[in-house]
Amino acid sequence: MSIHWRAPMPPATTSIDLRIEAVPLPAPWNEALARPTTVAVHRWGEDCCLPAAGGNRHPVRVVSIPIVRPTVRVHSFAFPEAAALPPGSAAGLPPGKQNPSGRVSAPPSLLCPVASHTRIKPPGDIIKLADRLHYVLQPSLESLMAEGALAFPFRPFPFQFEGIAFLYPREAAILADEMGLGKTMQAITAIRLLLRRGELRSVLLVCPKPLVTNWQREFGVWAPEVPLMVIEGDQAKRSWQWSLPDVPLRIANYELLLRDRKLLEGRTLAAGDGPGIHFDLVVLDESQRIKNRLSSTSEVVCSISRKRNWALTGTPVENSADDLVGIFEFLAPGFLSSEMKPRSIGRSIRDYVLRRTKDQVLADLPPKLIHDEPLELTAEQRESYRLAEEEGVVRLTELGAAATIRHVFELVLRLKQICNFDPATGASIKLERLEADLEEIANSGRKAILFSQWVGTLRWLAERLQRFGPMEYHGQVPQRRRDGVIQHFRENKSRHLLLMSYGAGGVGLNLQFVNYVFLFDRWWNPAVEDQAINRAHRIGVDGPVSVTRFLTLDTIEERIDRILQEKRDLFDVIFSGAEGRRKLGLTQEELFGLFQLRCPSGPIDLAA
């Protein structure tokens, strides 16, 4: 049986076109966009006319339609710049008024080329744009002076304006200008501006005790409108002074802070423990006093509650870079460390330290003429020196490993005193040379300062130099009499010599009326000698300052001088970025080496 299958026919299909034609809705703007642009160009000569109805022709006329730019409304602020002030002019003072204290303003001949307008520059650590603009948009300091908004007793130097602009915005800063460039004035003016702006309400200024009256006097000259209080008296009075509210400025000395530490920290027995006293700004004058981070003074100062920290010093580095590390423990704890190399320290502190020297900012300041005067000991001095040195070296040798720094210092001081004068006979080659120089100085009507590290030497000299009218200024002169000594020496023409100790006369004094300085004996540190010299070589001096450093040959003075010369290099190492060879300073090893002795075993620390 066979089966046959045939496929069915396909179903019937019908094709339908479902496309819908989209016709855009005509709109005016669509039509305008689609309409082609027609440009008709007609050319006519100067005498051509356009055709008009009736066969007439009209001359061509051109009409200009001005297109006015839209006015953009803006808000702007323009600060008027100060015009150039005549030398010695004083904003806010009536014509003809003399400068107080006989101060000298800035004549153009002393000024190095600088910008005519000093503006406050924000520190590098300020990030927010609003904070940076806050300082950038301030008017220049010169314009404030010209408008009388900020009265000065006389015109400051341009570099002093720069110092003010440096301090004003900073929470941590060191003003390390060389002695005699007006760090006091710059700090006072910056404080004055911040107080007037309302950015400060309580300021504590800490300085050595002999300089308290000097700061009072300077605030009276540069910021007479600022109320201040000197912390003094017994503990009950001081406690009352510390607790007073709304005192803009307090001045205290370092020694007093040690006694009032509990009051500052809020730890009083009467009131119980409580919050300490807070200051918007703490300023340390002669801040090298806290270079030793382990000292009680450094601990007390660093414990004060504060928002801003400023330090003023002409010698931020005296012995080693550790001195600067100690100051920065107050400014910014942990920012520097003793392990850092001098070059690294120099890079790190650039935005925090401002250092200028007289050579950099005062083009025509009278020169400072320094010369060492080598002298041979008299026969009497030489014999006493030989015996003292031999006996001392024998004793140190016998002590051996038991010899200490104190034993070496005793011998060094004894030998240095013999270099000044023979205690047995009174013979002194230094005195002989000094008398010859003073004769010439007195005959010319000039004045001189003599520095020594011993009060006994100063009194010994005073007895033998009576014809030159000597006056004494040292630690044994009562504090209340010191200002009178300086004033009498300045005004009395018969007083030609001022005998000063390094400790009492090395800081905070302005003696620019003196043209001669004698260093009768040498201090351990060149920075201290520089401080002493710059008491006279500063702004306002009327002529060259001659500095004579007595140096006896073949003695301990000559040996120490060779070692301490290296200390002067440390400033260049840090502030110029050069790499230091080693840690500079007078160490135990070097002290023992003065007498060719082997240093006892143990750590080698800075001894001087």
Say which CATH number the domain at 526 has: 3.40.50.300
Residues whose CB falls within 8 Å of the CB of residue 283, separated by 6 or more in sequence, listed in order: 187, 191, 203, 204, 205, 206, 310, 311, 312
Q: Mind giving me the DSSP string for 454-513?
A: -HHHHHHHHHH-GGG-EEEESTTS-HHHHHHHHHHHHH-TT--EEEEEHHHHSSS---TT
Q: What is the DSSP letter of 52?
A: -
- Please state, in angstroms and rounded to a whole number, the distance separating the CA atoms of residues 386 and 389: 5
Q: Is residue 599 predicted with pLDDT exceeding 70?
A: no
Lowest mean pLDDT among 56-65, 216-225, 294-303, 574-583: 574-583
pLDDT of residue 81: 45
Mean predicted confidence (pLDDT) in 32-36: 66
Owner of token pair 């010299």: 533
Q: How many CB atoms lie within 10 A of CB 413?
A: 13
Q: Is the pTM value of this prediction over 0.75? A: no
Lowest mean pLDDT among 76-90, 258-272, 315-329, 339-353: 76-90
Q: What is the DSSP letter of 392?
A: H
Please check whether residue 507 lies inside any domain of the structure.
yes
Helix axes 379-399, 405-420, angle to 10 degrees: 180
Nearest to 258 by CA among 323, 215, 206: 206
Whether residue 352 is found in the same domain as residue 402:
no
Q: Contacts for 286-289 with beta carbons within 8 Å, 24 or more apart?
A: 286/207, 286/208, 286/211, 286/312, 286/313, 286/507, 286/508, 287/174, 287/311, 287/312, 287/313, 287/316, 287/327, 287/330, 288/313, 288/315, 288/316, 288/318, 288/323, 288/327, 289/208, 289/254
- Please state, in angstroms and rounded to a whole number, the distance separating the CA atoms of residues 209 and 285: 11
Q: Provide the number of structural domains found in the chain.
A: 2
pLDDT over 70, % of the chain: 70
Whether residue 373 is found in the same domain as residue 506:
yes
Lowest mean pLDDT among 77-86, 390-399, 516-525: 77-86
Give the pLDDT confidence of 365-380 residue by residue, as tens digits. Answer: 677 788 888 889 999 9
Mean predicted confidence (pLDDT) in 119-126: 78
Give the bridge partners for 486, in sequence order. Answer: none
Alpha-carbon distance values, 158 to 84, 107, 119, 492, 539 (Å)? 12, 11, 11, 34, 13
pLDDT of residue 424: 87
Whether residue 328 is found in the same domain as residue 401:
no
| Range with top average pLDDT, 103-112, 324-333, 576-585 | 324-333
Q: Mind giving me the DSSP string for 586-603?
A: -BHHHHHHTTT-PPPSS-
pLDDT of residue 325: 87
Q: What is the DSSP letter of 156?
A: P
Give the bridge partners for 320, in sequence order. Answer: none
**Higher local confidence (pLDDT), 242 or 533:** 242
- Please state, in angstroms and rounded to a whole number, the distance separating the CA atoms of residues 600 and 400: 8
Mean predicted confidence (pLDDT) in 144-156: 74
Q: What is the DSSP letter of 233?
A: S
Please check whether residue 387 lies inside any domain of the structure.
yes
Mean predicted confidence (pLDDT) in 554-558: 88
- Please state, in angstroms and rounded to a whole number, the distance separating the CA atoms of residues 311 and 288: 9
Angle at 108 between CA 107 and CA 113, to 5 degrees: 140
Burial call 339-373: b when 16+ CB within 10 Å, e when fewer: ebebebbbeebeebbbbbebeebbeebeebebeee
Report strand pairing: 272-273 vs 267-268: antiparallel
CB distance 391 to 414 below 8 Å = no
Whether residue 280 is found in the same domain as residue 402:
no
**Higher local confidence (pLDDT), 281 or 593:** 281
Whether residue 314 is found in the same domain as residue 259:
yes
Alpha-carbon distance values, 199 to 124, 141, 191 (Å)? 20, 17, 10
Alpha-carbon dihedral angle through residues 385, 391, 396, 399, given to the nearest 10 degrees: -170
Please check whether residue 564 lies inside any domain of the structure.
yes
Mean predicted confidence (pLDDT) in 118-145: 77
CB distance 140 to 80 below 8 Å = no
Query: What is the token pair recorded at 313?
Result: 């010093």
The amino acid present at 375, given as its one-letter code, is L
3-state secondary structure at position 321: coil
Whether residue 574 is found in the same domain as residue 532:
yes
pLDDT of residue 351: 87
Mean predicted confidence (pLDDT) in 126-139: 78
pLDDT of residue 384: 93
**CATH number for the domain that contains residue 298:** 3.40.50.10810
**Higher local confidence (pLDDT), 133 or 12:** 133
Owner of token pair 């918007």: 280
Mean predicted confidence (pLDDT) in 589-604: 49
Picking from 326, 361, 396, the residue at the C-terminal end of a domain is 361
Q: Is residue 146 predicted with pLDDT exceeding 60?
A: yes
Whether residue 244 is found in the same domain as residue 343:
yes
Please check whether residue 54 lies inside any domain of the structure.
no
Q: Contacts for 399-402 with beta carbons within 8 Å, 24 or more apart?
A: 400/600, 401/600, 401/601, 402/600
Picking from 318, 337, 361, the residue at the C-terminal end of a domain is 361
**Higher local confidence (pLDDT), 71 or 327:** 327
Query: What is the token pair recorded at 185?
Result: 């004035």
Report strand pairing: 448-452 vs 516-519: parallel
Please check whether residue 93 lies inside any domain of the structure.
no
The amino acid present at 196, given as its one-letter code, is R
Q: Is the dihedral of CA 227, 233, 237, 238 positive or negative?
A: positive
pLDDT of residue 55: 61
Please check whether residue 41 lies inside any domain of the structure.
no
CB distance 532 to 505 below 8 Å = yes
Query: What is the token pair recorded at 267?
Result: 């730890």
> Residue 485 sits in which domain range?
368-593
Whether residue 346 is found in the same domain as residue 400:
no
Picking from 361, 380, 399, the residue at the C-terminal end of a domain is 361
pLDDT of residue 91: 35
pLDDT of residue 33: 63
pLDDT of residue 393: 80
Whether residue 432 is found in the same domain as residue 501:
yes
The amino acid present at 214, given as its one-letter code, is N
Please check whether residue 35 lies inside any domain of the structure.
no
Please check whether residue 476 lies inside any domain of the structure.
yes
pLDDT of residue 338: 81
Alpha-carbon dihedral angle through residues 512, 514, 519, 525, given to the nearest 10 degrees: 0
pLDDT over 90, % of the chain: 25
pLDDT band at residue 463, thresholds of 50, 70 and 90? very high
| Strand ranges (E), 162-202 | 172-175
Whether residue 300 is found in the same domain as residue 196:
yes
Query: What is the token pair recorded at 74?
Result: 């803006």
Whether residue 347 is found in the same domain as residue 419:
no
CB distance 429 to 439 below 8 Å = no
Q: Is residue 311 predicted with pLDDT exceeding 90?
A: yes
Give the pLDDT confidence of 573-582 residue by residue, as tens digits. Answer: 666 544 444 4
Q: Is residue 279 predicted with pLDDT exceeding 80?
A: yes
Whether residue 230 is found in the same domain as residue 175:
yes
3-state secondary structure at position 517: strand
| Range with top average pLDDT, 12-21, 434-443, 454-463, 597-606 | 454-463
